[in-house]
Amino acid sequence: MRLLPIVLMAAVALSACTRPDRFGGAGADGMGAGGMGAGAGGAVTTVPGGPGDPNSPEYFNQVVGDRVFFAVDQSILSDAAKVTLDGQAQWLQSHPDYLAVIEGHADEVGTREYNVALGARRANAAREYLISRGIPATRLRTVSYGKERPVAVCSDESCYSQNRRVVTVIAAGAIS
């Protein structure tokens, strides 16, 4: 029987949702505001909380890499995706205070509802991989946005390939 939410995870979801930029707007997916100035002029400065700080979410997003990409209508992880996810797993191992919401996305070439289901498949593939690399399942939630949250807006493969993605969005929030 499938009834009633589990209180613990509901609390986790709420804490993740209170971050104002969690499901932010244009290009905000996983790109923390602190990252925008980084590398300007070619010099990466180590600012606490910036991408030069290996303990920062910006480091996770930009240096480790917060996203992996998929072939058309596929949810199989490529070798490149696995390398990125290995890095994510390593980072999450050493930062146990962080939880992750794994977002699955699709390109616009598909029907809306199928794409939600496809995004869920992709997010789950990444989640299963992270679990296989030792991350507790309780730290990882998945959500699918289908084709509703593109990061690239043109209507050809150069954009579609960026939109067929899974983004691991981390948020500090110890499990209590």
- To another protein, the closest distance from the beta carbon of 11 in angstroms equals 10
Q: What is the DSSP string of 64-133?
A: IISEEE--TT--PPPHHHHHHHHHHHHHHHH-TTEEEEEEEE--SSS-HHHHHHHHHHHHHHHHHHHHHT
**Which residue, 52 or 146, is less far from another protein as judged by CB?**
146
Nearer to another protein, 2 or 41 (CB): 2
CB of 75 to another protein, least distance (A): 7
Q: What is the DSSP string of 119-145?
A: HHHHHHHHHHHHHHTT--GGGEEEEEE
CB atoms within 10 A of CB 52: 18
Angle at 141 between CA 161 and CA 97, to 5 degrees: 110
- Give min distance, CB of 54 to another protein, in A: 27
Least Å distance, CB 116 to another protein, is 5
Distance CA 39, CA 23 (A): 25
Closer residue to another protein, CB minimum distance, 92 or 169: 169
Binding site residues, another protein, CB under 8 A: 1-6, 9-10, 13, 16-17, 22-23, 25-27, 73, 75, 101, 108-114, 116-118, 120-125, 127-128, 141-146, 148-155
Give whichever of 12 and 63 is closer to another protein, judged by the CB atom. 12
CB neighbourhood size of 47 (10 A): 14
Q: Which is nearer to another protein, 26 or 40 (CB)?
A: 26
Least Å distance, CB 105 to another protein, is 12
